[in-house]
Amino acid sequence: MTLQITDHLSPNFGERRGGARPELVVIHYTAMQTAQAALTRLCAPEFEVSAHYLICEKGRIYRLVDEEHRAWHAGAGAWGQITDVNSHSIGIELANDGQSPFAADQMDALEYLLADILRRRNIPPEGVIGHSDMAPERKIDPGPRFDWARLELRGLGRVRRFPVDRQAPSA
């Protein structure tokens, strides 16, 4: 598979704070019915949300924010000593409603994108986390259907022990 990325730039980004460099990759699901709906929201200035990449069910990858910038995907939370996760991470959104299995083409594209990012940024597999890992009180994505074992087998992440009965936090 050749890594093909389509630019569809979002206005929702800023500078990384304090000279931070990416040392994490945060995996999300969009919780929307279609990739197009997610693309629209992630690029709409009024929602003030974005990610560096969006991967559609069929494996198409959109670059929404240049990796040198701070995308607005993580929100409040922390990972170890990192409390400004947005400044220290690259965010990848997977078009998924949160209930459905992740498509094979989508997971293939994620593997290729992750391998490229980890190599270029010198990020270890332990640096690939879920949104739920850094914000466990408020987020559940990428959720129990996400195949962490597949990523671990390929050296692209570590298995997460996500509780199956955990429900989405109330709004």
Burial bucket for residue 122 (CB in 10 Å: 0-12, 13-18, 19+): exposed
Q: What pLDDT was estimated at residue 160?
A: 63
| Cβ pair 141, 99 in contact under 8 A | no
pLDDT in tens, 13-38: 999 999 999 999 999 999 999 999 99
pLDDT in tens, 128-165: 999 999 999 999 999 999 999 999 999 999 986 544 34
Q: Which of 48, 93, 111, 137 is catalytic?
A: 93
- Catalytic residue at 137? no
CATH number of 24-153: 3.40.80.10
54 CB contacts (<8 Å, ≥6 apart)? 8, 30, 35, 38, 39, 42, 61, 62, 64, 92, 93, 94, 95
Mean pLDDT of 64-88: 96
The number of residues in the chain equals: 171
155 CB contacts (<8 Å, ≥6 apart)? 125
Q: Is the pTM of this model over 0.95?
A: no
Q: What pLDDT was estimated at residue 1?
A: 60
The domains of the chain are located at: 24-153
